[in-house]
Structure 1
Amino acid sequence: MPDETTPFGEFPHRVVDPKPEGLTRVASVNVNGIRAAHRKGMGEWLASRDVDILALQEVRADESIVTKLIGEMTEPTGVAWHVHEEEAAQKGRAGVAIVSRTEPTEVRSGIGDGHPEDQGRWVEADFALGDGSTLTVVSVYVHSGEVGSVKQEHKMRFLEYMRHHLPQLARTKDHVLVVGDLNVGHTELDIKNWKGNVKNSGFLPEERAYFDGYFGDEGGYVDVARTLAGPVEGPYTWWSYRGKAFDNDTGWRIDYQMATPALAETAEKSAVDRALDYSLRWSDHAPLVVDYRLP
């Protein structure tokens, strides 16, 4: 029977979208603290989504806690998941993880020169594919930034690190998928109120120029969700908790799945798992989910 406490039934966080046979489902989400996300219903979403690889950002917990909570969330699936995290230097901040049904063959953490503010923001995992090639998945969390502050300096430094590292990954790995909260809207289609944000961190011309490079000849990556969605507004992945941003869909598309070209060609479907109602949100971000037909 429907749960009388909610108009959305007994399982309000569940997403019904069966995964076709032969596809690999990759999801990415900034959980805004995994303890709170777990408490608010993330586990119900995860148990229903049939994800193979899950990239998390801003977990704000050490690996033992993430492993414990993921175990509780995925217990209904009967699968023992593998968790690999790069923790932030300061407890309770940042933290990125890759959670997967199969064990990676190799895991690497960090990017750049090891600046403390950049820890807990980049983790890579290699997965063996059926044709003998390797899929490298990266979970990344770019600084949010703040114009005129040291936070923006940290952000610009990190974007510069990515400018150098992304082409290197593409040259040395078979297939690369970089996913996560990149905290930049690339084009005017990616922010509902773009005119009011041209001088704010997240939509500065100098930030967006980096994405021109990532998705251009310099980087060579493909914006998978944008390619599948086409030239439409959004679909947004983040909404402020303030005011009526969520109710009015005044959002930002700042979560990405960036793939090397051959890998991008295997992407068949993309979805943003936006909550049915403001009260049902378990993060200020919504998961970005893409199905790939991997070799």
Structure 2
Amino acid sequence: MTLDAPIHSGETVRILTYNLNGIRSALSKGLIEWLSQNPFDILCFQEVKATHDVVDLLPFEALGYKYHWHAAEKKGYSGVATFSKIAPDQVVMGCGIPAYDCEGRILRTDFGDLTLLNCYFPSGTTGEIRQTVKMQFLNDFFNYVQELRKNRPNVVVVGDYNIAHTPIDIHDPVRNKTSSGFLPEEREWLTKWFDSGFVDSYRFKNPGKVEYSWWSFRAGSRSTNKGWRIDYISVSEPFKDRIVAAGHRTDAVHSDHGPVWAEVLL
């Protein structure tokens, strides 16, 4: 697919979502080289931790990408960016809620009848205050998306949700039952999310497979595969039959996360 090419119905598009834990760090660890060998049409990055003007983006342009960037107001924190070889019809920064938009958590791009939301959900691991923020975000985000779907039924929500849904999605569900990211109320929200008309593309295509998308930097968690599946590509129900394939790329080691991908028909 060439840059700014028109979108044709039935065309296959490959989407990658990847929490980089700092785009400059990921670039120093060979991200561009990996992308040059593993091409995708749309890249959705979370936790870029930078504004676009302090990052050398020429290597992405050389690969055929244009970008849209929603940085946090706080330097070195959060932020999302979407790179694509297809020109979006519309770009919307944020969701209209200042508390989240100032942290650079949601970036919307529309491609034909598809609305793509690149999202970085808050983490609650630093304590009760941020856990409360996380739960409020989940409630507000749910309402925002349900309203959006009234006019844009084909919605794909990618990114770091910071929630492992079921015991199969976490290496030690018993010991982590009181850990942020696997709390009952978080898991219940994700169940509500999927019950509301969204499909987990990875689980849809890989019902019983055990793979993770995040490993703590501590105690060699990645080498022993003690991980969590907290990054998702979920699609609204009307779009699910357009999922061709979905999976993880555990070979990519530019972050404490690994990329998640889906191939869909536009």
With normalisation by structure 2, the TM-score equals 0.91
Matches of 1:107 and 1:181, distance apart in 2: 20
Residue in 2 aligned with 1:29?
A: 18
Q: Return the letter of the residue paired with 1:269.
A: A
Matches of 2:54 and 2:193, distance apart in 1: 34
Residue in 1 aligned with 2:40?
A: 51
Matches of 1:215 and 1:221, distance apart in 2: 5
Matches of 1:155 and 1:46, distance apart in 2: 32
Matches of 1:282 and 1:149, distance apart in 2: 30
Q: Return the letter of the residue paired with 1:114.
A: P
Q: Return the letter of the residue paired with 2:18.
A: V
- The question of whether the paired residues in 1 share the 8 Å contact of 2:250 and 2:259 is answered with yes
Which shows bigger deviation, 32-41 or 43-52?
Answer: 43-52
Residue in 2 aligned with 1:110?
A: 94
Q: Return the letter of the residue paired with 2:231.
A: D
Task: Give CA deviations for 1:85-124 in whole Å, capped at 9, x if unaligned.
Answer: 1111201000011111122111112236311686211110
Residue in 1 aligned with 2:262?
A: 290
Any gaps of 5 or more consecutive residues in structure 1?
1-20, 129-133
Matches of 2:224 and 2:244, distance apart in 1: 29
Residue in 2 aligned with 1:91?
A: 75
Residue in 1 aligned with 2:122?
A: 143
Residue in 2 aligned with 1:17?
A: none
Matches of 2:250 and 2:186, distance apart in 1: 26
Is the counterpart of residue 155 in structure 1 residue 134 in structure 2? yes
SS at match of 1:222: strand
- 1:246 Cα shift? 0.8
Which shows bigger deviation, 163-172 or 108-117?
Answer: 108-117
- The question of whether the paired residues in 2 share the 8 Å contact of 1:89 and 1:120 is answered with yes
Task: Give CA deviations for 1:143-180 in whole Å, capped at 9, x if unaligned.
Answer: 11137521111111111112211222222104111000
Residue of 69, 72, 92 corresponding to 2:59: 72
- The question of whether the paired residues in 1 share the 8 Å contact of 2:42 and 2:85 is answered with yes
With normalisation by structure 1, the TM-score equals 0.82
Q: Aligned Cα RMSD in Å?
A: 1.8
Residue in 2 aligned with 1:247?
A: 223
Superposed, 1:1-295 pairs within 5 Å as 22-66=11-55, 68-69=56-57, 71-73=58-60, 75=62, 77=63, 79=64, 81-111=65-95, 113-115=97-99, 119-128=103-112, 134-146=113-125, 148-216=127-195, 219-233=196-210, 235-275=211-251, 281-294=253-266
Work out which of the two has the higher radius of gyration on C-alpha atoms and give 1 or 2: 1
Q: Return the letter of the residue paired with 2:177.
A: V
- 1:136 Cα shift? 0.7
Structure with the largest fraction of strand: 2
Percent identity over paired residues: 35
